[in-house]
Structure 1
Amino acid sequence: MSSSTSQSSADKSSLLKQPKAVWAVGFACIIAFMGLGLVDPILPAIAAKMDASASQVSLLFTSYNAVMAVMMLITGVITSRIGVKNTLLAGIVFIAVFSCLGALSNDVWALIGYRAGWGLGNSLFVATALTAIVTFSSSGVAKAVILYEAAVGLGISVGPLLGGELGSISWRGPFFGVAALMVIAFVSLSLMMPKQQRTLAPTASSAPKKKASLKDPFVALAKHRSLFVLGLLACFYNFGFFTILAYAPLVLGEMGLDAHQLGYVFLAWGILLAITSVFMAPVLQRRFGTLKSMTAMLLLFAVTLVIAGIWTDSKWVLIAIVVIVGALLGNNNTLITTAVMNAAPVERSTASAAYSFLRFIGGAIAPYLAGKLAEWYNPHVPFLVGAGFVLVGILYFLFNKKHVQHVDHAPGH
């Protein structure tokens, strides 16, 4: 009875009434995700300055996401040994150091390597930040996820604008910009976030706290089909996501858009992503449920990718698609993250690591595949293949929907 009362009060509490630790991590998330958007407008400039092909430039995302995928498996182990705050700070330091090294590089392969180091830092930060916000929040899982996605959306939306401004001076500018932002994030997190326990609270209050093991994410995936289904869905979904994020800027750059203009396009994309993740996704959840809403958003995403694949030669159609997709991605990111946090009775850090491992495998393969498909065939094919992967993910999800039905009935949904 007391448990249900506690849950009910959490559900009714204000989204904005959060402990100081939540706001500290959220602010650092905004700055960390600025780094992702900062680089997007300068992809064509990097290709031109370093005489690199589309597939080589796309490796900047592949190396980043591949390291993220592997490192997600051990973030729980690291956090359980050095603590939440120290893990977040270590991630910020890695991001700052490798972004600065990237700014000083003169070779595309060196830059690809530094982006891998950047991915190492982001893996420590991103997985731990999501778990920390969900755990420390006083308003329940669903609202905590909205806060996290709002921070992500704000960072992604502001990043391209700043990246376009700095990139118009030099392609190195955004890399130095990321390093500077990480210094701000480090200071704010150091001052605002108190030291916390080494292990984050599990989903069940009765579960004993213990040091995380390397096998925990694999055990969770093997034991809980719901986590595997959502993780594989995210893997396929990320083929479409990174086709837009990593390949679309190169196509638009070929059409004459400079760093400034690309920055504005992805600013609009990020604004819609942020707004829908905070305001529209909760409405869809309440009215239609997480699973139905997720399926609808993914179907619409696949349709927009098909349109981009057909009218790739039209600059204005492609710009419109990129911006519209921001709304679909914002909704889906909140919906699927909420589903994962409620999917299985395991520690949220373990659930996040298992899900993120599968998700970033798709994010690692997709950018390079998109670049190679454009080289092998034509600029239309990557968008159509991305749509195909999203559709495969939807079909797999629908065939296995029985394993995740409980998500819509989870407490605090």
Structure 2
Amino acid sequence: MGSSARQGVAAWAITAACLIVFMGIGVVDPILPEIGHQLGATPTQVELLFTTYLGVMAVMTLFAGNIGTRLGRRRVALLGLALIAVFALACGLSGSIPALAVFRGGWGLGSALFTPTALVLLLALIGHAEKAIMRYEAAIGLGMSMGPLLGGVLGSHGWRFPFLGAAALMLLALAAVAVFVRVPEKREPVRPVGDVFRAYRHPAFLAVGITGLLYYFGFFLLLGYTPLFLHLSTLGLGLTFFGWGLLLGLGSTLLAERLLHRVRASRIVIGALAGLTLLFVLLGFAPLASGVKIALVVLSGTLFGLMNALLTTLSVEVSHMPRATATSAYNFLRWLGAAAAPVTSGVVAERLGAPVPYAFGAVAVALAVLLMALAARPIDAARSSDPHVH
């Protein structure tokens, strides 16, 4: 097998592992109400399963780049997959919300090591930044669609089964990366963690990062809180978010690729964020039938997928920093926003009423629209000056 063919196989192995890892995020979605019912947990306690996962991811992404430099990208990817498999199994065997929250935090540690490393590996294996990012986002979209479906099907037999199924799939991903991925490790200097924060000195990159923080607050509010809001069966939730995830993948690949070559990136982001602001208002406060709200959730996957691809692309292209540093800096902010959303939605719903979390989502995304409108010119200028764009 030639060198280019080996690289192609390695890139597909990383892609498949990304898909499986992101299945692990969505697999919890359909079983949240059942976990709450079986373990006698409040909405806030149930949402901790997302918040601990995402909070650990946010903090650990600051160190993932340096860990990858010290140990090698491949080793870190394998370590991340192994940790996910172990903690997914632990979740399936646990019997209380505190234990589940702790084990989900461990799962987040594994994901924090794997996900930024996987993007750096794909960028190295594929070479073309935009193609690598589209591949990465397509894997995320498919994973986020298949995860809820797996959770819905297995969860209809008991809430433990989706965790056990996820652990088995992670072991398959671990085996695929161990066998097929052989990447020459370049000797790179270990950069201080402060380099991540220096990336924020670039105004265009800081604007993209804060937009990501606000946007992912909305993203994970919808993903984490909506299962408690819709009052569907486990399988019904699985099917709903399966459809949402399919459109997420479509938006992050075909739609994003076509629009990026026709329209300025900042304009697409502003339009998509404005659409999501309206979505949150309609979901929470419009007098719509439940079937219409389910359809809105599914269709929103297109805008969410488009935003995922656009912000990831912009974070790489406007930073003028090494890609590993830019990836860590962007991921820290986006996972920070993501971690705040689930537990905030639980507290707000308990104290102010079930629809009110969507008002918080609408405000967060509307602030992102304002920020992107103010920063549009420097962002487009920074992107056009990046040699990798052309």
Q: TM-score range by the shorter chain?
A: over 0.9
Q: CA deviation at 1:277?
A: 1.1
Match of 1:25 among 11, 14, 18: 14
Match of 2:360 in 1: 385
The counterpart of 2:133, out of the listed 145, 152, 160, is: 145
Question: Residues 165-203 of structure 1: CA distance to partner in whole angstroms, max 9, x if unpaired?
Answer: 11011100111011101000000000110143056xxxx
Structure 1 residue corresponding to 2:223, chosen from 228, 245, 249: 245
Aligned residues: 384
Deviation of the 1:75 alpha carbon: 0.2
Which whole-Å CA distance do the structure 1 matches of 2:366 and 2:198 have between them? 28
Correspondence 1:349 to 2:328: no
- Residue segments in structure 2 that go unaligned for 5+ positions in a row: none
In the TM superposition, what is the alpha-carbon distance from 1:308 to its structure 2 partner?
A: 0.4
- CA distance in 2 between counterparts of 1:285 and 1:357 reads 25
Separation in 1, partners of 2:287, 2:47: 18
- The CA deviation string for residues 61-83 of structure 1, in whole angstroms up to 9 with x for no partner, is 11111110100000011000110
Which of 166, 187, 193 aligns to 2:181? It is 193
Distance 2:140 2:214 in 1: 21
Any residues of structure 2 matched to 1:57-136 within 5 Å, and which? Answer: 57-136=46-125
Q: In 2 relative to 1, CA 147–325 (structure 1 residues): closer, same or farther, beyond 3 Å?
A: same
Does the alignment pair 1:217 with 2:196? yes
What is the percent sequence identity of the aligned residues?
39
From 278, 293, 308, the counterpart of 1:303 = 278
State the alpha-carbon separation in 2 of the partners of residues 272 and 351 from structure 1: 27
Against the structure 1 CA distance between its residues 277 and 122, is the aligned structure 2 distance closer, same or farther, given a 3 Å change threshold?
Answer: same
Q: Output the amino acid matched with 2:149.
A: L
Match of 2:348 in 1: 373
Give the alignment's TM-score, normalised by structure 1. Answer: 0.90
Q: What SS does structure 2 have at the residue aligned with 1:288?
A: coil
Change in CA separation of 1:400 and 1:189 when aligned onto 2, cut-off 3 Å: same
* TM-score normalised per structure 2: 0.95
Matched letter for residue 276 of structure 1: G
Distance 1:376 1:314, change over 3 A: farther
Alignment-derived partner of residue 212 in structure 2: 234
**Preserved CA contact (<8 Å) 1:54 1:371:** yes
**2:145 pairs with 1:166:** no
AA aligned to 1:228 is L
Q: Which SS does the other structure have where 2:156 is aligned?
A: helix
Unaligned stretches of 5+ in structure 1? Answer: 1-15, 200-208
SS at match of 2:192: coil
Q: 1:3: which partner in 2?
A: none
Contact 2:266–2:372 (8 Å) recurs in 1: no
Residues 17 and 297 (structure 1), Cα distance of their counterparts in 2 relative to 1, 3 Å cut: farther
1:153–1:273 Cα contact (<8 Å) kept = yes
| SS at structure 1 position matched to 2:353 | coil
Matches within 5 A, 1:171-190: 171-190=159-178
The structural deviation recorded for 1:159 is: 1.3
1:230-270 deviation per Cα after TM superposition (whole angstroms, max 9, x unaligned): 111011111211111000001123xxx11111110000000
- Once residues 49 and 147 of structure 1 are traced to their aligned partners in structure 2, the CA distance between those partners, rounded to angstroms, is 38
CA distance in structure 2 between the aligned counterparts of 1:352 and 1:276, rounded to whole angstroms? 21
Q: Kindly report which structure 2 residues correspond to 1:258-337, keeping only aligned pairs within 5 A, or say none.
A: 258-311=233-286, 314-337=289-312
**Which residue type is aligned with residue 35 of structure 1?**
G
CA distance in 1, matches of 2:119, 2:6: 18
Amino acid at match of 1:307: L
Distance between the aligned counterparts of 2:145 and 2:341, measured in 1? 22
1:5 paired residue number: none
Is the 1:79–1:198 contact (alpha carbons within 8 Å) kept by the matching residues of 2? no
